[in-house]
Amino acid sequence: MKIASENIIIGSGIFGLSIAAHLSNLGQKVTVVDKSENPNEASSNALGRIDPILGGSGHGHETKPLPVAKKSLDAYKKFLNLDDETKKEIEFEIRPTIHFLEDDSQFKMIEDLIHQIDSERNFFSIQNKASIEIEKFINLSYFPSLSLFNGTIFINSKKYKTYLENECKKNGVNFIKDEIMDIHEIDNSPKLSGKYYSYAFEKLIVASGPWTKKLLGNSIKIDVYPSKGQIVKLRDPDNKFTDLHLHGSCSVIKKKDDLIWIAATSEEKGFDKTITNQAKDFLIDSAKKMHNDIDQFPFHSQTACLRPQVENDLPVIEKISNSVYIASGGGGWGIMMSIMVGELIENEINS
């Protein structure tokens, strides 16, 4: 059986859904193909931190590189400009961050980047230790200093994904459960075949996350590879945990689901998604460098997922033939970048 659509999108993760919602909003016909009806990948399990300034968890990444920060700010503003109903639906909140520092030069790096992308301090600010009331739980034995950073957005990634799915369904997007087996003749007249169906299309958009390279092989020049991220969640039965986001050796925050999230590992393990005790111990030990009593909170659960990693953390939006496009990458910032990928694909198609 052949399925025909103006746009075929491979992958119903956050990038695929965002593109489908955007193109269908423009009145285009869209079909999304995925081997799972509800893929439980990075889109569903991510921490949901929207932050153009502070880098990834762990030191050596105090700030994002300037090109990434500038692009991220565009995405950040799009989240800020969502309507109130959508913000409530995706559990949007802006939370202050205690950012732990290894030395004063790191404070200056953050301050300088804020000045470069937000010189009027419309969105972000940072204060040094002297202006912060040090709470008892804060561990200062590992990091010699800390700062108070304002501006970080958090959302519920799973609810954001559901929001995009609902937008797609309202716009008449067709969802097909099928495993894509082959994309061939990419440079000439591309053909797409799945386990159950074949497909005809005007435009094919490959948004298959860390599996992008597997599908497209040498047709894609940029290396997109899987990065395994594990997250530990703890319970807070007595409601004792701080409202602050702690960031340094990892990210620790109590989210609106009332769980304390400790995020995240970054492991190059191929396509292995096994949950490990080693990662659990690593994350709790990392969190204890910031919060003295983190190991006193009961364990709730642990997740592992695969991010589509690229060297520069930017989304890969490319036209690779007359009718084939890719939308992948973003690494640990995929949720943040996803809000703009539909527009980026539209621009690529029209260029």
Binned average pLDDT, 10 residues per bin, the chain of 351 residues: 95 96 98 84 84 76 84 96 98 97 90 96 93 87 93 97 97 96 79 93 94 85 90 98 95 97 94 96 97 97 92 86 91 91 94 83
Predicted TM-score (pTM) of this structure: 0.94
The domain over range 93-151+225-309 is classified in CATH as 3.30.9.10: yes
Report which of 14, 334, 13, 26 is spatially closest to residue 203, judged by C-alpha positions. 26
CB contact at 8 A, 72 and 170: no
Handedness of CA 175, 181, 186, 188 (dihedral sign): negative
pLDDT at position 222 is: 84
pLDDT at position 184 is: 79
- Encoded tokens for 164: 């995009």
pLDDT at position 169 is: 97
pLDDT at position 42 is: 62
pLDDT at position 263 is: 96
pLDDT at position 6 is: 97
Angle ∠(50,296,294) on CA atoms, nearest 5: 30
Handedness of CA 9, 15, 17, 23 (dihedral sign): negative
pLDDT at position 100 is: 94
| Topology agreement, domain 2-44+159-224+311-350 and domain 93-151+225-309 | no
pLDDT at position 77 is: 98
Residue ranges covered by each domain of the chain = 2-44+159-224+311-350, 93-151+225-309
Say which CATH topology domain 2-44+159-224+311-350 has: FAD/NAD(P)-binding domain (3.50.50)
Q: Is the peptide bond before 75 cis (omega within 30 degrees of 0)?
A: no
What distance in Å separates the CA atoms of residue 69 and residue 336, rounded to the nearest whole number? 11
What distance in Å separates the CA atoms of residue 33 and residue 109, rounded to the nearest whole number? 43
